[in-house]
Amino acid sequence: MTQWLTGQRDDPAERAHRVVAASLRAAYAWTVRRQRRDAMREVARMTGVVMEAHGPGNGPVTPLELVGCLRQRLGEMPALAASTDETIARAVLLDSDGDGDDRLTTDAYDLACEYALPLGEPPGSVPWMPTWTRMRADRIRGETFKALIESRNQASYVASRRFLIEHPAAALSELRRLISETGVSLPAGGYIDIPADHVHRSPGGERWWWPCAFCRWPMAVTGTTVRCRYVPHAAVYQLADGRTARSRPKLSRVDEGRPRRLATPVARPADDARCVDFGVWRFVVVPGASELRIMRELEDLGAAVELWPDLDRYDLHVRVGEREFRIDVKEYRSAHRLIADLRARTPAARVLLPATHEHQLGTLRTAMPSLQITTETKFLTEVRRARRAR
């Protein structure tokens, strides 16, 4: 009776994954219940998924009980209490927005990146649910890249993928010009309006957005706080309206993170602006920004770098003199999800953890001692040595 939920595997880790996925969907549905008449039905359906995963007499048994759990650490739910993944255990999905209502937390967006899961509904049955709440990263990437690889042309594929990463948001007129000049292919859906919670409306009625200094996608606007949804891009800014009602608003950096020399983003008009959707941003643009950054660092060291060889068999093919390196950049918020995915699909190259994720090295080496793995810092040192040895 519950095979549509459980599938063929039903070990504790799989049940925990279903609880997280259902909690994410319930959290999102709860935040839009005033706009979507069937949102509470989705909360109720996800309550059923959570109840099934917990078993009789355990966990929340009503939609409101589940919502209450989402305002606390997920590790307090019985099915997740034994989880060794601190990313899950510490996560809180709902928080008050100051007006007595709930909003999704940064934790929710982080978890959705790696724990979203289809949960038995027919395709298209809940069209208002964002793709990132119900689709795995590999599926979103696959659908995004489908249009890019149809020609089977490596140069066209690289150019189109790089375009998405380097231009995840811009004025519509600018995007049209760039697309016309470059001839790149875009995935189905292309660009959409910038989400409302990533836009600031000034007292004069003008709408503005700010690109993240790292990934260039619109930063989230919460009251007077502006920051990227992706935690490692953690510069936090304070918003101040301009001198007049129609003046361009400005940001000032308020966090103590590094690097401190980041240029402060400048407000851009939002009325004619577009961006890739959340799923494409998180699963294509965010890791792609790291891949391009690492590529530039390697080229500065004198290496020759090829992006996404053989239509993305791996990420970087690096040449230093006679030496060659094959690198697959892995940027997961949860080391446990990374380990699970690496076990499910053996990488075709050495795994590299970017600078923001180097703390995961010990966990990965303990769990997968035979895996070829390095960090950005270690690999750059290796390339420097190879260059000096030429």
Residue-by-residue DSSP string for 204-240: TS-EEE-B-TTT-SBPEEETTEEE-SSTTS--EEEEE
Which pairing describes strands 192-193 and 273-275: parallel, antiparallel, or unpaired?
A: antiparallel
Indicate if the pLDDT at residue 8 is higher than 50: no
Indicate if the pLDDT at residue 140 is higher than 80: no
Indicate if the pLDDT at residue 150 is higher than 80: no
Indicate if the pLDDT at residue 61 is higher than 90: yes
| Number of DSSP helices (H) and strands (E) in the chain, helices first | 16, 17
For 94-136, the pLDDT digits (tens) are: 997 656 688 888 888 877 767 776 676 655 567 788 777 766 6
pLDDT for 259 equals 59
Instruction: Report which of 136, 189, 182 is spatially closest to residue 162, judged by C-alpha positions.
Output: 182
In this prediction, residues 206-211 reach a mean pLDDT of: 96
Minimum mean pLDDT range among 37-46, 144-153, 329-338: 144-153
Query: Cβ atoms within 10 A of the Cβ of 305, count?
Result: 21
Q: Is 272 helix (H, G, I), strand (E, B) or coil?
A: coil
Q: Report the distance separating Cα 307 and Cα 292, nearest Å.
A: 8
Q: What is the pTM for the complete model shown?
A: 0.83
Q: What is the overall mean pLDDT for the chain?
A: 87
Question: Percent of the chain beyond pLDDT 70?
Answer: 91
pLDDT for 112 equals 72
Bridge partners for 353 per DSSP? 375
Of residues 167 and 222, which shows the higher confidence score? Answer: 167
Cβ proximity of 239 and 221 under 8 Å: yes
Give the rounded distance of the alpha carbon of 262 from its chain centre.
21
In this prediction, residues 4-30 reach a mean pLDDT of: 76
In this prediction, residues 49-59 reach a mean pLDDT of: 88
Give the rounded distance of the alpha carbon of 363 from its chain centre.
21
Q: Report the distance separating Cα 15 and Cα 9, nearest Å.
A: 9
Using only C-alpha atoms, the chain has a radius of gyration, in whole angstroms, of: 22
Query: Cβ atoms within 10 A of the Cβ of 147, count?
Result: 15
Q: Report the distance separating Cα 52 and Cα 59, nearest Å.
A: 10
pLDDT for 1 equals 34
Sign of CA dihedral 84, 86, 87, 89: positive
Alpha-helical segments (H) within the chain: 3-6, 12-31, 39-54, 63-70, 78-81, 86-89, 106-115, 137-149, 154-166, 172-182, 278-280, 286-300, 309-312, 335-344, 361-367, 376-388
Phi then psi for 46, rounded to 5 degrees?
Answer: -70, -30
Element (H, E) at 277: none
Burial class (CB in 10 A: 0-12, 13-18, 19+), 186: middle
Domains within the chain, CATH numbers bracketed:
3-135 (no CATH), 140-278 (no CATH), 283-388 (3.40.1350)
For 231-263, the pLDDT digits (tens) are: 888 789 999 877 777 788 999 998 766 555 678
In this prediction, residues 284-298 reach a mean pLDDT of: 96
In this prediction, residues 156-164 reach a mean pLDDT of: 93
In this prediction, residues 331-338 reach a mean pLDDT of: 87
Residue with the two structure tokens 């589940």: 66
